Amino acid sequence: TAGITQAPTSQILAAGRSMTLRCTQDMRHNAMYWYRQDLGLGLRLIHYSNTAGTTGKGEVPDGYSVSRANTDDFPLTLASAVPSQTSVYFCASSDGTSGSGANVLTFGAGSRLTVL
Amino acid sequence: AQKITQTQPGMFVQEKEAVTLDCTYDTSDQSYGLFWYKQPSSGEMIFLIYQGSYDEQNATEGRYSLNFQKARKSANLVISASQLGDSAMYFCAMRPTQNTGGFKTIFGAGTRLFVKA
């Protein structure tokens, strides 16, 4: 089934440890995004990438880094996790980087991360 | 800066009745798209409806319609004939259609809808 695969599904991590959340899409979408979802705050954009080789900061980028070496993969790294990074993380992609069309987001199933 | 505001943390509606979920937005972009997504208790995000800022008619998709009032910067979602399966979290979102910072889609805090039998 075409779509976005996120891994791991859930993880418990000790504070101070590093962690990489993986995201792979098979739709050849140009744009990819990482969001975190917290109760009462909705989805907040962490980082995004309009095309392979480029990345940009979203609303809450501190403590996170991303890379986009190819079209399909967009990993999110927490270099030194803190409890405030406990959240559900969603990877998403969209077809276009231009302004035309709806450019609807396709989401992965999410990764639940708990930092203790 | 762009911002989406959803002022209703929770809403109740009787089955088969219509309900309106509010969304207001703030942007300096002249061209943008507005979206609604649904998140059931299972957690997946489901696209519902899209409205372009230059679309003259309100968007409709089955039982969903978007009440777009550009001057008021509002994009309310109307669900007609509510069903029990409509119980979910609903998010309003916005994305610029001009490259004024990366075509980033931003979301509101969401409204949780409860449909009563």
A contacts of B105 (beta carbons < 8 Å): 33, 45, 92, 94, 103, 105
Q: Do B44 and A59 touch (CB under 8 A)?
A: no
pLDDT tens track for B84-94: 999 999 999 99
Residue B101 pLDDT exceeds 60: no
A contacts of B91 (beta carbons < 8 Å): 42-43
Q: What is the DSSP letter of B2?
A: -
Q: Which residues pair with A8 in a beta bridge?
A: none
Mean pLDDT score of chain A: 92
Candidates A44, A50, A105; nearest CB to B102? A50
Residue B100 pLDDT exceeds 60: no
Residue B113 pLDDT exceeds 90: yes
Residue in A49, A51, A103, A112 to test binding to B, most B beta-carbons within 10 Å: A103
Tell which phi-psi region holds residue A44, choosing left (phi > 0), alpha (psi between -120 and 50) or beta.
beta
Query: How confident is residue B56, by pLDDT bands cut at 50, 70 and 90?
Result: confident
